[in-house]
Structure 1
Amino acid sequence: MMTVLIWIATALAIAGALYSAERLIAWRKRSEFGQREKTSKKVGDPRLAAEERDQFIEILGELAPGKDEEVHEKVTRQVSVGIVHVLATFKNTIVTVTDEKGAVLGWSSAGKLGIKGGKKSKAFTAKLVSQDACKQAMAYELKEVSLKVKGQGPGREAAVQAVSDIGFEVTSVEDVTEAPRKESSEAKVAQ
């Protein structure tokens, strides 16, 4: 009885390998004619197609035909003057570095760095967030920045200090915090 089970398992394994080989041959024919790979079961998930291609390579022991992958360098523009926007709230600190037109060059927040809970509003965290955003902007060869600070959080001064410590020339610091409106308190008094 045991030998019959082993014989059936072996037959199933061989049938599976033959089916996979047939799929590889069909894949090769499609790729030779320039058609798109259709081995992925989920639309738009390239990882599934890559996994199946790797299985075929394991079975046949050879590389799949196709174009050699070319590595393209990312072309970045050079920006000499930028704006650092610091949003310092009592819960979080967010720093965004933009060019003069407003295109984002780099950004960071405490959550992006993996800091959770009450530590997100600390001054040291604001310093780390500022450094991370500025390091991203350094790829654009940014030299001088103007700062726009918004909010009353504890990370306000630390973020501003970190921008100047990292090597940017700070041309101006502007406070863009909105003043609290008196309309709501006047409405409460009138009632």
Structure 2
Amino acid sequence: MLFDLAKVTAHQTYNLLIGLVAPRPIAWITSTDLSGKLNAAPFSAYNYVGVDPPIVAVGVGNRPGPGVVGKDTAQNIRNTREFVINVVNEALAEAMVTTAIDFPPGVNELDIAGLKTAPSAVVSVPRIAAAPASLECRETATIEIGNSRVILGQVVAIHVNDEFIDPAGPYVRAEELHAIGRMNGLGGYVRTRDAFFRVPRTTYAEWLQANQ
């Protein structure tokens, strides 16, 4: 079936993209407004896009309804230029979903979810203490495109719980961290526990030797 995106609605496009661009990592973002009030919200339009410097990209749509009004996370990052991406594992899945509820202004999502924060090392925004890893970020650019925006952030510090680090690399013991990913909408997620498999990469010389 072919979908000409010039002829379908934005919601239909959304349904298709979230089913095909999957699984998606979850950026559980903590940010603060200019008065210091803390906000936490998850976003799955997220990935790293560079390492020198280390850059992550997060897509954040505007609030539904008339006008162009960014979500609290987008407004906070634009105003303070700082945020923290907290990694979500299986143990934190329900708490993460709680923070996605559209609470009225003034409600601290982390308090509702029963989560504590810990100070960050470089940025002023706190991280989620229970998260197995966190990325401290500073905004480098925000690109507004239509009814959405792409936030580019430079990672300035990374926290990883000791048990998930192999110091030889250092490497992340991702098989043990048990991060979860987003699948489609309507509460769809995927586990990484017992799901890893490896397909070794080969060099051109190795490929030639195997295919002679």
Judging by fraction of residues, say which structure has more helix: 1
**Which structure: larger Rg?**
1
Judging by fraction of residues, say which structure has more strand: 2
Is TM (by shorter chain) over 0.5?
A: no
TM-score by length of structure 1 reads: 0.24
TM-score by length of structure 2 reads: 0.23
Greater relative contact order (Cα 8 A, min sep 6): structure 1 or 2?
Answer: 2
